[in-house]
Amino acid sequence: MSATAANEPVRTKTKTISVTSGKGGVGKTTLISNLALLLARQGYRVLVLDGDLGMANVDVMFGIRVTRTLESVLNGECPLRDVIVEAIPNVSLIPGGSGVYGLQNLSVFQKKLLLDQVNELNDRYDYMLIDTAPGIDDNVLYLNSAAQETLVVVTGDPSSLTDAYALIKVLNKRLNEQKFSIVANMVQDESEALSIYRRLSDVANRFLCVSLDYKGFIPSDANLRVATKTQQLVVRAAPRSPSSYAIQMLCENLSHSKSLSAVKGGMQFFWEQIIGVA
């Protein structure tokens, strides 16, 4: 066996992870784009679904331009495979646009057509990362509930904590979601991150039947701010910066996660849930 083959990740069913938040401006898209690059460097094949209609800009982070979105598929203009674009080697992107918001309103024929196309993607990707819009809109809830793991990004801002709790509460009460992963962003150090996590966890444990799993933190870092402002990925632009090291640690935690839902799994399940087949 060659060294390259020996280092290849073991191929399993696609892991689906949503990256979400209660409010905007917490760094979801920046985080998801950097995570995708790191996973790709490890040899994993990653598919990113840009599900943030208002701030759909994953393509911008990778320096690419898209001409078609998921809406083009729903309108019958092209098949799903023609919408998927390669952002970088091993990372592909489905530009969602307003198409994500139309998935619940498909006809039976459109649902079958889309699922047949999704079936063609099975076994092509190791990870599917879903960048959701912030808040508790129905489409945000559906995207999060369909994923195996829901990664909630929160900052030390009191409104971020309040809105993150509101999102977790609605997902728990309305869709019976019970497991959530938490990452603290824009913090001074891990001490502050753990303090944020404990505050959120204490309130959730008191009033909800949920489990919150601390995944890591991203420190406030000038390198990250500059990279984001110039539409670069910090793990590539400043790989030795504090934020890059932290994102690498978070990536390791996610890739070795044991908290993935056992009752959910694979890309087909995700899309069936989103369009209301299952």
* CATH at 126: 3.40.50.300
Tally of structural domains, the chain: 1
Question: How is residue 125 written in tokens?
Answer: 């990707």
> Does a structural domain hold residue 133?
yes
pLDDT of residue 4: 46
> Does a structural domain hold residue 53?
yes
Predicted confidence band of residue 1 (pLDDT cuts 50, 70, 90): very low
- How far apart CA 251 and CA 6 sit, in angstroms, is 21
> Does a structural domain hold residue 1?
no
DSSP letter at 133 equals: P
> Does a structural domain hold residue 49?
yes
Query: Are residues 216 and 253 in contact, defined by beta-carbon separation less than 8 angstroms?
Result: yes
Q: Radius of gyration of the chain from Cα atoms?
A: 18
DSSP letters spanning 145-214? HHSSEEEEEE-SSHHHHHHHHHHHHHHHHHH---EEEEEEEEESSHHHHHHHHHHHHHHHHHHS--EEEE
- How far apart CA 91 and CA 186 sit, in angstroms, is 26
- Per residue in 109-157, pLDDT (tens digit) is 888 888 888 888 878 999 999 999 899 988 889 889 999 999 999 999 9
Query: Are residues 19 and 131 in contact, defined by beta-carbon separation less than 8 angstroms?
Result: yes
| Per-chain mean pLDDT for the chain | 88
> Does a structural domain hold residue 5?
no
In this model, does residue 193 exceed pLDDT 80?
Answer: yes
> Does a structural domain hold residue 6?
no
> Does a structural domain hold residue 110?
yes
**CA atoms within 13 A of residue 260's CA, in its CB half-sphere:** 19
Instruction: Using alpha carbons, select from 165, 102, 83, 130 the residue that is nearest to residue 264.
Output: 130
- Per residue in 32-57, pLDDT (tens digit) is 999 999 999 999 999 999 887 666 57
122 is in which domain, residue-wise? 12-275
> Does a structural domain hold residue 175?
yes
